[in-house]
Structure 1
Amino acid sequence: MKAHLNTELSQCLRWSFSLGKKFLRKASLHTVSVQFIYIFSQLLLLLAFFLPLKAIIVLSSGGIPSYFPEFLKAYAQDTVVIWLSLSSLVAFAAHLTFELVATKITAAGARLLIIRTKKIVLFDNQDLIAVNAYSKFTRGLSELLFFLISVAILCAIYPLIFSLVATSIIVFYTFTCLAYNISSKARSALTTHHQAILNSISGFVFLVVFFGIIGDFLYFHPPSAFMAIISLLLIRQALQRLVGFSTKLILLRSQHSRVSALFFHNQPLLLETTQKSDGIHALFSPEQRERWIPQVLSPLFKTAFTVEGVKNFQLGHPDIYCYEVDCCSENTLKTYIIKLFDESRTYPAAQESALIAQFKDLPCPPLRETGKLQDVTYHIFEWSKECKMTGREYTQGTLTLLGDLMKLTPPKSLLNKYERSKSYLESRLNSEMLENLKLYAVTAEDQKTIEQLAGSLGSIKLHLSKLPRQLIVLDLNFDSLLKKESGELSVIHWGNWILEPAGTYWPLTAHSKLLECTQEAQAIRTDAQSLSSDGTILASYMFSFERHINRRDYQAALNLIPGILKYTQSLDEQII
């Protein structure tokens, strides 16, 4: 359906008007008083910018200009400059004071509105969101009022500026509407970069006004230079306030579901489900699939081929979509998995392609092609009809996969890149973790074990740093772990992986399997001389310990300390 900026703006203004009536009815004193305070604050800010210009004029003129008030001419030039400078400082301090007062009143008004709507708590940080919404509305309204008042003043004292501003705004608004309504790319740019675009338009309008004043002074009958300077300062401030109003209105509208649920008595919280109609979703229709699937598969065939069938392949990851495609070429049937990554999933796409390119022995279907389809990244895997696993078979499969990955030696180039980008387990362990744990521990025995762990922390980090690194896939699920007919495991998705000391990520309940896999890895890996059973078990303990601390599950972390100390002591004795 074609978008129309006029329609959306009309809906936004009607909603804002309803919101304003609600605020005025339920918190009238707060809402009205904030308007006066904000507008007066802006006048003080304008004065704080204007007075330094007057001081510079007095300094450069060699005396008190004739158009200055008579009472100032009785004072010396230096005295007038000092008074103007101090007045500017006082005006700015008063501006900040009024801003602070307005903020306090706004917070009180928002709390009053929530109380009077008599609703239950709807979501986390409800009060903060209410204060922010009420603040945006009241501040935006005051900025709009300041702009209208400023334009009315300019209409009276300098009609030319009023005409230029009104004409420029109409022209830019018309052009913006046309671009928004006609071009989807322009609509996306306006939606994404509205703040920068509004600032740019404000700058252009100010330049139009500036050149208009220059032309007026050169060729027509302008007012005094003093009046032109005042007008320029006023219109610059007014345009900034108009941009502020527009930005706050856009932000409020983007949260209208929550804001309406907070402040409107009969409006429940509705969770919006946004359906995309462009980007990756534009590729899903049968007509589009018939066009782009042969297009992306064509580099894989030297002769003509036909697409025999297309089926969905469930991957279980948001915004990543897969198709299982059967192709026939020269009476040979081949099957491919095409993975499509939405624009928001560029990180897992890059992680997967980078890993597979550098790690040649991965348990993974062969990656045959990568590329871009519009703004969508795609990966094409050659598919051998591997089966998905469920239940107990999957649980056992995850442990088997961990063991298989422990046997692989990561390439040196990959380790070097990883070390420059991310930290290993031993680097993340620090004394601050133990300080948080001490606050939870209440018994003398717990405090003692924490002190022992603190004393062993340096040794633990040393032992972990000596362990060889192993690859770990973090977002494994029932759909991405596959099994070949031969029984070998294969993983179809490598979008989130890490390199850690061998034994990391291993369940504490499966140490017998870990010992078995460690022994197998010792016989295979080229860097097995630093691989030990006690070391891998310590790594599994410390990974679980770190995870419990990060989740603030302090009792579970305390329960692990005896095991950590046991294996640390064992490793220390082996060194001795």
Structure 2
Amino acid sequence: MNEISNVLRWTLSLSAKFYRVVPFLTLAIVVLTLVSQIASLLSFFLPLKIIILLGSEGMPRYFPAAFAQLDRDVLIAWLSAATIGFFLLSLLAEKLIARATDVAAGKLLGKSQKMVLFENQEDVAARAYQRYSSALAAGVFIPLALTTLGWFYPSMAGLIAGYSLFVSMVFVTAHRFSEKFREYLDQKLASALGLAGTLGFFVVFAYLVAEFIFFSPPGFIIAIISILASRQIFGRATALVSGLHGLAQQRLRLDALFFHGKVLVSQHQQPNPGKKNLWSLLQPETRAGWLIQVLEEAGMPMASTDQLKVQWLDSSKPNMPHLLVSSAEEPDRPLLVKVFDVNRKSLAQHEATLATEGLEGVPIPLLILGTEVDRFACHVYRLPPGQVLKVQQAKRKLPALDKRFVAIHLSPQLVNRYLRSRPLLVDRLSADVLERLYIACYSRQDTLHVAELIDRLAELQSHLKVLPLVLVNPNMRRSVWQADADQTLLALNWDRWSLDPLGAGWPFSGKPFARLVEHLMGEPDRRLNNVDSCKVRLSALAYGLEDFNNRQLLNDALNVVPEILDTMNTLQNNATEE
């Protein structure tokens, strides 16, 4: 209730701001919204009358007496024209609402005299103002509709009001005492309100049926109006609550946009004890509780939080924090606990797919638990005693990891699942992608090189297709763990692993490439027999080209294009000589 009252007080202050700056536009939008809703209601109601007339030989007795004075065919024509008119009126009102909203949002932003605070702030302001106007119109429409309905059918108006009050009490009570229900409302409030509105409509329908069977029913026209009005009332109630909730979600941004004394503050810097987020979950006073539960689920129960030793690991992975957890009694048995924000859930699933595959030789820690903590995906890995290498140390060790990747045998099941789900390098390098390089072409030679590569794209793809697929991990530099006992290396981040042709992710040339090729030739794996080192280098170049292109380092990408063409020419010459 405190949260609801805070939102209502803030909404009132927002209303006062809007009415001071754009009073006439706000009033016009509310009136237009009401007109649109009433016109929409009538455009659904009148066709029912037309259908009744078409199915009757004369004038039904429950029609208004004034209709009896008109010819039946003429009345049908007038009602049809009125239906079209109300529908067009509804469309016109919606167009005027959109236009007035844009003008009002522009005036509000101009009045605030602020710098540009974030991208698309004009769209955010317009949507917020429209949402506010729609909620305000719903707040006006609902009591008007209930009052009008109560004049003709008091028991129905009482039923709708009573049902709405009952649902509100259920929601508030469940929100207070049920954590799962709170999380459900946080994620799917509109769905919950829509479901409640649909149930309310069926309650109204059941009440009408009972009235006609057991009690004294209202007039037929009143019954139809009650059904349509209840649908509109429940729909407007959903729009009212969803609109206020949506405004509250944007509170920090809207305060910064519309109020002089407010500045834009990051959401993470604002304390919000009523709402859990990833960073509140990681606070020292909070994390001990859920870590104890997670470790118990992983088969490592601890008697108390005093036994926990928790250390933050720098991983350079946004919204995927890493915690190094161990017991005070067994500090040499560390665990890596990774928590993934809600928008990183797909990456967590992708990483877990590889971790649970059981491939021999993959330098990944042992995954002992995959679970969820307050809707955030959580992985727990077993680590050998050791340490995370610094960036420069990891950079020197990466060639050793690259050598290990060559020898990994991929299971046919994993390869088939991957091919059904994600594109390979040969699929990602398309003509549309390469045409982006024209933007950075500075000389005619650059343009000719790009054009030639696009023309020979099928040739490039044919060379890459014959190479065996290997495991590729593009982000290891800041997440390499080295064991103390045997100096074994493990990559901690696998959220973006891929399967690509041999050579993808390798250095293009020089000693690092030569060492990897030398190691490749010494592998006993039959898949690697007779692999052409030129094609391997071509794969490395193509992967580098894609990487530069994705990071918009187009000048670097242009520098790679001539090397790709030269390598393809070498392959062509070798084939001719053979």
2:235 pairs, out of 234, 240, 246, with 240
Q: Deviations over 1:289-317 (max 9, x none)?
A: 56764663359xxxxxxx98745362524
1:144, distance to aligned residue in structure 2 (A): 1.8
Q: Deviations over 1:326-365 (max 9, x none)?
A: 5989xxx962424254573554444444324331112344
- CA distance in 1 between counterparts of 2:101 and 2:451 reads 49
Taking structure 1 as reference, are residues 124 and 277 closer, same or farther at Cα in structure 2, changes over 3 Å only?
Answer: closer
Tell me the equivalent position of 1:297.
299
Taking structure 1 as reference, are residues 309 and 511 closer, same or farther at Cα in structure 2, changes over 3 Å only?
Answer: same
Whether 2:333 is the aligned partner of 1:335: answer: yes
SS at match of 1:62: coil
Tell me the equivalent position of 1:429.
429
Determine if contact 1:431/1:454 at 8 Å carries over to the other structure.
yes
- CA distance in 1 between counterparts of 2:158 and 2:286 reads 51
Q: Deviations over 1:41-63 (max 9, x none)?
A: 11111111011101011011112
1:408, distance to aligned residue in structure 2 (A): 3.0
Taking structure 1 as reference, are residues 17 and 358 closer, same or farther at Cα in structure 2, changes over 3 Å only?
Answer: same
Taking structure 1 as reference, are residues 486 and 288 closer, same or farther at Cα in structure 2, changes over 3 Å only?
Answer: closer
Q: Which moved more, 1:418-427 or 1:372-381?
A: 372-381
Tell me the equivalent position of 2:558.
558
1:27, distance to aligned residue in structure 2 (A): 1.1
- CA distance in 2 between counterparts of 1:360 and 1:541 reads 28
Taking structure 1 as reference, are residues 25 and 311 closer, same or farther at Cα in structure 2, changes over 3 Å only?
Answer: closer
2:111 pairs, out of 113, 116, 123, with 116
Whether 2:267 is the aligned partner of 1:272: answer: yes
1:388, distance to aligned residue in structure 2 (A): 2.8
1:426, distance to aligned residue in structure 2 (A): 0.8
1:113, distance to aligned residue in structure 2 (A): 0.6
2:45 pairs, out of 44, 50, 65, with 50
Determine if contact 1:438/1:450 at 8 Å carries over to the other structure.
yes
Determine if contact 1:359/1:410 at 8 Å carries over to the other structure.
yes
Counting matched residue pairs gives 559
- CA distance in 1 between counterparts of 2:238 and 2:164 reads 12
Q: Which moved more, 1:396-405 or 1:515-524?
A: 396-405
Q: Deviations over 1:123-158 (max 9, x none)?
A: 111111111111111122112211121112112222
Q: Deviations over 1:434-484 (max 9, x none)?
A: 333335546433332222112111101111111122212233243434255
Percent same amino acid among aligned pairs? 25
Taking structure 1 as reference, are residues 437 and 80 closer, same or farther at Cα in structure 2, changes over 3 Å only?
Answer: farther
Tell me the equivalent position of 1:137.
132
Determine if contact 2:340/2:348 at 8 Å carries over to the other structure.
no
Determine if contact 1:315/1:480 at 8 Å carries over to the other structure.
no
Whether 2:163 is the aligned partner of 1:199: answer: no
Determine if contact 2:337/2:380 at 8 Å carries over to the other structure.
yes
- CA distance in 1 between counterparts of 2:293 and 2:18 reads 54
1:227 pairs, out of 213, 219, 222, with 222
Whether 2:520 is the aligned partner of 1:521: answer: yes
Whether 2:39 is the aligned partner of 1:26: answer: no
1:119, distance to aligned residue in structure 2 (A): 0.6
Q: Which moved more, 1:54-63 or 1:544-553?
A: 544-553
- CA distance in 2 between counterparts of 1:289 and 1:440 reads 50
Tell me the equivalent position of 2:97.
102
1:178 pairs, out of 162, 173, 176, with 173
- CA distance in 1 between counterparts of 2:90 and 2:367 reads 64
Taking structure 1 as reference, are residues 484 and 406 closer, same or farther at Cα in structure 2, changes over 3 Å only?
Answer: farther
SS at match of 2:529: helix
- CA distance in 1 between counterparts of 2:542 and 2:46 reads 64
Taking structure 1 as reference, are residues 450 and 391 closer, same or farther at Cα in structure 2, changes over 3 Å only?
Answer: closer
1:345-424 equivalences in 2 (<5 Å): 346-356=345-355, 357-365=357-365, 367=366, 369-372=368-371, 377-383=378-384, 385-424=385-424
- Counterpart of 2:157, as a letter, is F
Taking structure 1 as reference, are residues 477 and 544 closer, same or farther at Cα in structure 2, changes over 3 Å only?
Answer: closer
Taking structure 1 as reference, are residues 261 and 559 closer, same or farther at Cα in structure 2, changes over 3 Å only?
Answer: same
1:263, distance to aligned residue in structure 2 (A): 0.7
Taking structure 1 as reference, are residues 326 and 198 closer, same or farther at Cα in structure 2, changes over 3 Å only?
Answer: closer
Q: Deviations over 1:502-521 (max 9, x none)?
A: 2222344x543113202311
1:250, distance to aligned residue in structure 2 (A): 0.6
1:86, distance to aligned residue in structure 2 (A): 3.7
Tell me the equivalent position of 2:147.
152
2:3 pairs, out of 1, 8, 21, with 8
1:559, distance to aligned residue in structure 2 (A): 2.6
Taking structure 1 as reference, are residues 531 and 481 closer, same or farther at Cα in structure 2, changes over 3 Å only?
Answer: farther
- What is the root-mean-square deviation in Å for CA atoms of aligned residues? 3.0
Whether 2:563 is the aligned partner of 1:568: answer: no
Taking structure 1 as reference, are residues 442 and 424 closer, same or farther at Cα in structure 2, changes over 3 Å only?
Answer: same
Tell me the equivalent position of 1:302.
none
- CA distance in 1 between counterparts of 2:561 and 2:370 reads 48
- Counterpart of 2:146, as a letter, is V
TM-score of the pair, normalised by structure 2:
0.88
SS at match of 1:64: coil
- Counterpart of 2:467, as a letter, is L
SS at match of 1:322: strand
- CA distance in 2 between counterparts of 1:43 and 1:563 reads 68
Whether 2:501 is the aligned partner of 1:501: answer: yes
1:447-486 equivalences in 2 (<5 Å): 447-482=447-482, 484-486=484-486
Taking structure 1 as reference, are residues 337 and 348 closer, same or farther at Cα in structure 2, changes over 3 Å only?
Answer: farther
SS at match of 2:80: helix
* Runs (5+) with no aligned partner, structure 1: 1-5, 300-306
Q: Which moved more, 1:17-26 or 1:156-165?
A: 156-165
- CA distance in 2 between counterparts of 1:463 and 1:236 reads 63
Taking structure 1 as reference, are residues 530 and 93 closer, same or farther at Cα in structure 2, changes over 3 Å only?
Answer: farther
Taking structure 1 as reference, are residues 382 and 122 closer, same or farther at Cα in structure 2, changes over 3 Å only?
Answer: closer
- Counterpart of 2:159, as a letter, is L
Q: Deviations over 1:201-224 (max 9, x none)?
A: 222322333333333344444432
Taking structure 1 as reference, are residues 575 and 411 closer, same or farther at Cα in structure 2, changes over 3 Å only?
Answer: farther
- Counterpart of 2:195, as a letter, is S
1:39, distance to aligned residue in structure 2 (A): 0.8
